[in-house]
A and B are shown apart, each in its own frame.
Chain A
Amino acid sequence: MAYYRHLATEWEEMSNKAVRVLLIEDNPADTRLIREILAEDKGSPFKLECADRLATGLACLAQGKIDVVLLDLGLPDSQGISTLVKVQAEALTVPVVVLTCLDDEALAVEAVQEGAQDYMVKGHVDSNLLARSIRYAIERKRAEEKARQLETLKELDQVRSQLLANVSHELRTPLTTIKGYSTMLLDYDRRLGHDEKQEYLSAIDKATDRMAELVDHLLDMSRLEAGLLKLDKVPTNITALLQTTIAEARLRTPGHKIVLNLPKAVLKLNGDGRRIRQVVDNLIENATKYSKPASTVTIEARSQDSELVISVADRGMGIPRENSGKVFDRMFNLEHRLTQEPGGLGLGLALCKALVEAHGGRIWVNSELGKGSVFNFALPREAIAEGEANSEEG
């Protein structure tokens, strides 16, 4: 929706205001000429800004108040096609018309292939031609942008339908447990032993937990998307947080050997303990899910420069090299979830990444196929007063 609003506002702005032109040109004679030509134009008014160096031009672009750039490719501080590339890097959505000398037409054509909207040969410029080229450049760029935004919307739509498919599947699995066991308990009450009934009731209980967790993940993800997820950052004792987390993880997955390596000094930082714990829980859950029972999962924490690094290492199947950069990407996980055992929404790592980044941290994975994976995340250690940290997580 935000895209549509954005487009509509741009349209309004464009049709009401003067066209803001940035001329980046080092030859004063050419600058004067362009200024005169634009002043002559009888159509909608142009507002011209001039820069005689690329650096000055880029600084002007950075303020974001330019509708179109007239660009000489040969400037004191930049020559050739790289001049255009630098302008595009600063302002990808601003159209560019390249100004060229007569003997440079090949370069101008190359510039158009590189994404410039048009080119004009100096000395062959008149008022009509220039005004038309500027307006066409703006319209063409707008059409390109719209196509690009539509593409983004389509992608977003794909993410949504894939997510919906996964959600419905993931909710049906615990629902099947609940429906199945409860109807069985009702129908065969007299024929089931006490222990067996307890077993089914406990499975129903676990299934409802799983559903609640799925709903929480979904809500977190949509809050993050809408920018509504607020961190509650307080001085937090990470040593104690990890000890509690690991103690509970051991109870949940008694099959695995879960090892915790901590430095002697107590680790503290300013952060949202509940969210940090969520990240650690998720990484441990993945580690146990993707490795054989009885294998070892090692959690380590250490201070490193201005960061606190926490890593979770498993001896599982590992991640193919070509995918190790993509595992935190939401769409990748959603798509692969369909063909990949075991269960999950495919949101876990994307959520971890978002939570770590909301803390100003980073997350990455080192993995070797067949040998295992190490998921790491680093959080900045902002200065906190000694002895101020909570003994428990937020």
Chain B
Amino acid sequence: MKKGSRATILIIEDEDDIRTFASRVLELEGYRVLQASDGDEGLRLARGNQVALVLLDLRLPGRDGWAVLSQMKSDPELSSISVVVFTASAATQQRSQALDRGAADYLVKPLSANSLRESIARILR
């Protein structure tokens, strides 16, 4: 296992299958994984758990991914955490909007295990 792979990743995703997929791949890559199925739970887990990166779905029940992103970027305790958006919307406008608002990467569903792995590794390097 590479050095630094023990970083903690928080996955905020409401679809069970997709959350399981992402968390299992990242576990197999040696990361520590936390899971949340909505924005509020995600923000709670983001604190005090030494989270290095958040994998964030945009379309969530209640507080959506956009709100979570801006909340994280405006909170001094959370603003240093890298946020990778993971969404079903391929619109370029949304992509640049997400990057403008501080997302480290913008991944479009569907996604292979390899693409997920590489994006995360590149950001945490």
Contact = CB atoms under 8 A, between A and B. Distances in A.
Contacts of B90: 168
Interface of B: 14-15, 17-18, 20-22, 24-25, 28, 59-61, 88-90, 109-114, 116
Given A173-B109, A176-B109, A341-B61, A187 B114 contact: yes
13 contacts: A169-B89, A172-B109, A172-B110, A173-B18, A177-B18, A180-B25, A181-B17, A181-B21, A183-B113, A184-B21, A186-B113, A188-B113, A343-B15
Nearest to A170: B88
A179 B111 contact: yes
Contacts of A169: 59, 88-89
Interface residues of A, number: 23
Interface in A133-179: 168-169, 172-173, 175-179
A55 interface: no
Contacts of A181: 17, 21
B24 A184 contact: yes
B14 A341 contact: yes
A214 interface: no
B110 A176 contact: yes
A203 interface: yes
Contact of B18 (A180, A186, A187, A188): A180
B17 A207 contact: yes
A360 B76 CA distance: 62
Contacts of B14: 341
A252 interface: no
A32 interface: no
A341 B13 CA distance: 12
A169 B88 CA distance: 6
A173 B60 CA distance: 13
Given A169-B88, A184-B24, A341-B61, A176 B114 contact: no
A180 B111 contact: yes
A191 interface: yes
Interface of A: 168-169, 172-173, 175-181, 183-184, 186-188, 191, 203, 207, 338, 341-343
Nearest to B86: A176
B110 to A, nearest CB: 4
Contact of A178 (B15, B61, B110): B110
A311 B2 CA distance: 59
Contacts of A173: 15, 18, 88, 109
Contacts of A179: 110-112
Contacts of A203: 17, 20
A180 B113 contact: yes
B88 A183 contact: no
Contacts of A188: 25, 28, 113
A322 B17 CA distance: 35
Given A184-B21, A184-B113, A176 B61 contact: no
A202 to B, nearest CB: 10
B123 to A, nearest CB: 19
B24 to A, nearest CB: 7
Given A181-B17, A183-B113, A203-B17, 18 more contacts: A169-B88, A172-B109, A172-B110, A176-B15, A176-B21, A176-B111, A177-B17, A178-B110, A180-B18, A180-B113, A180-B116, A184-B25, A184-B113, A186-B113, A187-B113, A338-B59, A342-B61, A343-B15
Nearest to B91: A165
Contacts of B112: 179-180, 183
A175 B110 contact: yes
A175 B114 contact: no
A168 B88 contact: yes
A179 B20 CA distance: 13
A8 to B, nearest CB: 36
Contacts of B116: 180
Contacts of B25: 180, 184, 188
A61 B90 CA distance: 53
Most buried by B among A169, A178, A183, A207: A183
A34 B3 CA distance: 98
Given A169-B88, A207-B17, A175 B109 contact: yes
